[in-house]
Amino acid sequence: MNHLHFVGVAGAGVSALAQFHAMGGGQASGSDRAFDRGLAGGLRAALERLGVRITPQDGSALLSAPEAVVASTAIEEDNADLAAARAARVRIIHRADQLARYVQQYRTIAVAGTSGKSTVAAMIFEILAAAGKDPSVITGGGLRALEERGLVGNALRGKSDLLVVEADESDGTLVRYKPWLGVLLNVDKDHKEVPELVRMFTEFKGRCRDFIVHAEAPALEGLRPGSATFGLGAGAETRAEDLALDAEGSTFFVRGVRFRLAHPGRYNVENALAAVAACLKAGATLDECARGLAEFKGVARRFERVGEARGVRVIDDFAHNPAKVRAAMAAARLQGPRLLAVFQPHGFTPTRFNRAEFIDAFADTLAPGDVLWLPEIYYAGGTAQKTISSKDLADPIRSRGKDARFVPKRDELPALIAAEAKEGDVVMVMGARDPTLHDFARAVLSQLQK
């Protein structure tokens, strides 16, 4: 199929597919509510530079007669473009099915797990690229190495048969893929309960020709037989020895080869080990893995250092589930003695589903003197039931003796944070889906600079 129209093209997964299609010489168009509201202008411009034609999300894109329309589970059934496609009897393809086609066409490494997929996929891609293997990538987070080349950052077509992708569990679609190699990082309650996720990951493993799994992750014991393993413990086949963590990253050894990673936190060491295990399967050497990780530039909004002013560091992070919040705040704790955290929940349904776990995560990780600000839940549009508020997180966290403050209007926060901040503090902005969050983090830095 030559002309594909992508609904929700500002979304990370769909935008990557649109780019990949255009990079392969296909005709691509796309629409998104964010673009209609004048948001995410930089992403729109980058997509248009690649040849993706942006249209209003009002059904008019179907006038150009695309051969098929691609959309994700996040798109409501009454969406104007989908309604127009059905009226015109144009085929509608789920995002996962389009990705599954690429997975079948390549020797694909598919990265799964409830946390860390974008980072590990990026690490694998950059190691393989540094090893001269010219891989392709379709992922959810923008690779800084690709952004520096003027690309959006979450997709690239290489010349070899190797492809690195994320296998997303949020809507259950990862079981549609049949990759050459599956990598399973972890499992925590997120979009679904852990037992359901384990069943899904077990089915995913059965569709992979080869498999790598975390050696110590709880609940994954049943997936380890017949799999290669990675981790920090002695039982892992690919493991870190002599690990040293610091504010700027970590140093460790794998089978006698020294690694230096310029990204802090134990979780990033585990991410790196997963990437090394996968790249060894793909024919890279340990020395090539070490070199690729030493040069790894990171992923947009994955513990991204926005800047420093008045001795206060500002960090922007994609953390949006309880496990990611815990990991990101632990890494931020290495940066300074006091945390000033902002967490914007990324939807009413996931906030309601994970409410107790979010409360525990913040109550456990906030230290005396830390401050947590909670703006109202991000609403992307659609038919979500607004039966929960960020106040429903702030109040119980505060009742457990932690300084949690509900501020409904996010625009008020930069001034409040700047007034609170002292030299040595670390400002940590966390949240997902909202394309303006990085701009918000930069606004905090600008307020600190005044």
Structural domain of 419: 304-449
Domain identity same for 166 and 209: yes
Average of per-residue pLDDT across 327-351: 94
Answer yes or no: is 425 within a domain. Answer: yes
Residues 134 and 171 in one domain: yes
For residue 279, what is the domain's CATH number? 3.40.1190.10
pLDDT above 80 (res 170): no
Asked, for residue 335, whether it belongs to a domain, the answer is yes
Beta carbons within 8 Å of 193's beta carbon, 6+ residues apart: none
Whether residue 10 is contained in a domain is answered as yes
Given pLDDT bands bounded at 50, 70 and 90, which one contains residue 57? Answer: very high
- CATH code, 323: 3.90.190.20
SS in 3 state form for the chain?
Answer: CCEEEEECCCCHHHHHHHHHHHHCCCEEEEECHHHHCCCCHHHHHHHHHCCEEECCCCCHHHHHCCCEEEECCCCCCCCHHHHHHHHCCCEEEEHHHHHHHHHHHCEEEEEECCCCHHHHHHHHHHHHHHCCCCCEEECCCCEHHHHCCCCCCCEECCCCCEEEEECCCCCCHHHHCCCCEEEECCCCCCCCCHHHHHHHHHHHHHCCCEEEEECCCCCCHHHCCCCEEEECCCCCCEECEEEEEECCEEEEEECCEEEEECCCCHHHHHHHHHHHHHHHHCCCCHHHHHHHHHCCCCECCCCEEEEEECCEEEEEECCCCHHHHHHHHHHHHCCCCCEEEEEECCCHHHHHHCHHHHHHHHHHHCCCCCEEEECCCCCCCCCCCCCCCCHHHHHHHHHCCCCEEECCCHHHHHHHHHHHCCCCCEEEEEECCCCCHHHHHHHHHHHHHC
Q: What is the pLDDT of residue 433?
A: 85
Residue 380: pLDDT over 80: no
Give the pLDDT of residue 74.
Answer: 81
> What pLDDT digit, counting tens, does each position of 277-335 carry?
999 999 999 999 999 999 999 999 999 999 999 999 999 999 999 999 999 999 999 99
Lowest mean pLDDT among 39-43, 161-165, 242-246: 39-43
Residues 319 and 440 both lie in one domain: yes
Asked if residue 382 has pLDDT above 70, the reply is no
Residue 71: its pLDDT value, please? 95
The CATH number of residue 64's host domain is 3.40.50.720
Please choose, from the candidates 437, 242, 271, 246, the residue with its C-alpha nearest in 3D space to the C-alpha of residue 335.
Answer: 246
Same domain, 398 and 424: yes
> Residues 46, 151: one domain?
no
Q: What's the pLDDT at 275?
A: 98
* pTM summary value: 0.93
Per residue in 405-425, pLDDT (tens digit) is 999 999 999 999 999 999 999
Given a cut of 80, whether residue 172 has pLDDT beyond it is no
Q: Identify the CA nearest to 339 among candidates 250, 401, 430.
A: 430
**Nearest C-alpha neighbor of 167 from the set 151, 152, 180, 153:** 180
Is residue 98, in this structure, part of any structural domain at all? no
| 67 and 180 both lie in a single domain | no
- Is residue 383 pLDDT above 70, yes or no? no
In-domain check, residue 101: no
